[in-house]
Structure 1
Amino acid sequence: MPSGVPPSLRQSLQALMRPFTPASAILFCDFDGPLVDVADRYYATYCQGLSDTQVHFATTDGLLPVHRLNREQFWRLKTNRVPDPKIAACSGLQGEAVVWFLARVREIVNEPALLAHDRLQPSARQALRLLRSHGIQVVIVTLRQSTQVAEFLRRHQLDWAIREIYGAVDSQAAYANHADHKIRRLRDAIADQGRQGQSLNTAWMVGDTEADILAGQAAQLTTIGLTCGVRNRLYLQKFQPDHLHQDLWSAARWVSRCHQQAVPTNKSLRYSLPQSLS
């Protein structure tokens, strides 16, 4: 466990790392999107990054002129997977200002003041209770750091709901959201659960981005896309998930019904990476 972790958070991490009895089913679940609404944080990061860029490139004539997108405009671009350089261009930035802005956003997006904007998704707690009541244990597979995840769960009193957390080492991995990183993280999580004696005959992968869908498909899991996060339905459909749901609550109801009816979900759990991502 990392040094310098506060005692309360250390206890939360230790609780999450305790051995679990084997579950009858496992839901591998992304963190941002399914459980956490990051829209306010991403918009606040964009606004701060834009303001910092204005100041950095200020001249004797004044601040750099920019066009700040409103929250709706910004989020529409984000959920349509418009690249960050284009969002910067839509905001009036050019040349070196774009490069500086993008670096600044990556630098500050995980600062405590901005992480404070994260919110629990409205129906997430209800969804976790439903899954638990049906014997389905939730394993978080995320590109966020495990300490950030554990702290959020502790603050919202959701430690009980999670079997284990598989997070990233790089604090900027979640914002970059590279699919190959998620594929490898899920593969490692599945292998580790197997070593713990967990049967993976009934398992799903759920998330709100193309990285989650591609990871689930690479692992031959039934894959569920959610439209409550940073990608919209039209964009996610391009990646052909097995199912699309509005949020984790909707997905949890469907998963619970499948589990009750003993619908097979394992597609052989092969761990080969797609050629384009290997």
Structure 2
Amino acid sequence: MSVETIAKTASFAKSSCQSKVLTVFCDFDGPLVDVSDRYYNTYQLALHETYHYYSRFDPFLKINPLSKKEFWQMKQERANDQEIALRSGLKVQQIPYFVQQVRSIVNDVSLLTKDKFHRGVNWALALLHSQGVRLVVVTLRCQDQVSQILTNYGLLRLFSGVYGTTDAMAAYSNNIECKTALLKKALAEHQTHRTCMIGDTEADILAAKAMGISAIALTCGIRSYNYLQQFEPDQIESNFLTTAYHLLADPTP
């Protein structure tokens, strides 16, 4: 596991008295950014390539592509690539090729452009920052990608730190141990009595629990309400904007 961080600079948000600061640690993909188009396009391309490859040997091969709604419902219930491949009509022996295709293209530059900030995220970040909340990104995504995206949108100045990896596949595989290590490092460098972790997967919830801080799960990402509920987060919210309003109304996570 390789971890990178961005230390505080003059452009980052200034914090107030340490004991009074509310620090919000937040995942990137899911809570802030909608990755559903990228993941679905990755699935479509991988399925097409697998069909093209195996149809040379089996002219009667038929596939049943999932709609985006069907695909995303499976992802939100944590169906793996193998299950999705079977549901799409691929045979067992064809699945490894499909999975290989998915993993080889999911972080392709042309697909990364499909990622978009959720509606209201920019406003929510600015609102929290204006009220003195310290914002810290803790993500399994490559740190360089995240910092560049935040810079492109003029949002990097709102954050006190960005903690990410150098492993392009860490986010896709949702490595719980890696997320916990990242959060531990972030907590050590941003000591405060009032903290919470906002995320959209079990990795975020379990990392927060391991560190003894409040876990807020969001359903706007890659896990459903029912799936997230199994891990008993302190709160389940629909999106980041709603969460921001609730934190400011009752900032005692």
TM-score under structure 1 normalisation? 0.83
Q: Do the aligned residues in 2 keep the contact of 1:57 with 1:63 (CA within 8 Å)? A: no
Q: Check 1:60–1:182 CA distance in 2 against 1; reply closer, same or farther (3 A cut).
A: closer
Match of 2:136 among 139, 143, 155: 139
For structure 1, list consecutive stretches of 5 or more residues without a partner in the other structure.
1-12, 194-198, 266-278
Aligned to 1:276: none
Residue of structure 1 equivalent to 2:115: 118
Query: Counterparts of 1:144 and 1:63 in 2: how far apart (Å)?
Result: 40
Aligned to 2:178: 181
Q: Which residue of 1 aligns with 2:242?
A: 250
Cα displacement (A) at 1:135? 0.5
* RMSD of aligned Cα (Å): 1.8
Q: Residue 18 of structure 1 corresponds to which residue in structure 2?
A: 9
Structure with the bigger RCO (C-alpha within 8 Å, sep 6+) is 2
Could you list the per-position Cα deviations for residues 116-138 of structure 1 after superposition, in whole angstroms to 9, with x for gaps in the alignment?
Answer: 10011101011101211211011
Quick check: 224-233 or 16-25, which moved more?
16-25
TM-score (norm 2): 0.90
Aligned ranges 1:27-66 → 2 under 5 Å: 27-59=24-56, 62=59, 64-66=61-63
Cα-to-partner distance string for 1:21-70 (whole Å, 9 max, x where unaligned): 44412100000011100010000000011111112223165484211101
Q: How many pairs are equivalent?
A: 243
Residue identity (%): 38
Matched with 1:99 is 96
Paired residue for 1:230? 222
CA contact (8 A) 2:15 2:132 kept: no
Residue identity in the other structure for 1:243: Q
Given residue 231 of structure 2, which amino acid in structure 1 is its aligned partner?
F
- Is the CA contact (8 Å cut-off) linking 1:54 and 1:63 kept in structure 2? no
C-alpha separation in 2, matches of 1:230 and 1:155: 24
Whether contact under 8 Å (1:32, 1:38) holds in the other structure is yes
- Summarize the Cα distance change of 1:64–1:113 in structure 2 as closer, same or farther, 3 Å threshold: farther
- Match of 2:141, SS state, is strand
User: Which residue is 2:206 aligned to?
Assistant: 214
The 1:60/1:150 distance shift into structure 2, 3 A limit, reads same
2-side partners of 1:57 and 1:18: how far apart? 53
- Aligned match of 2:231: 239
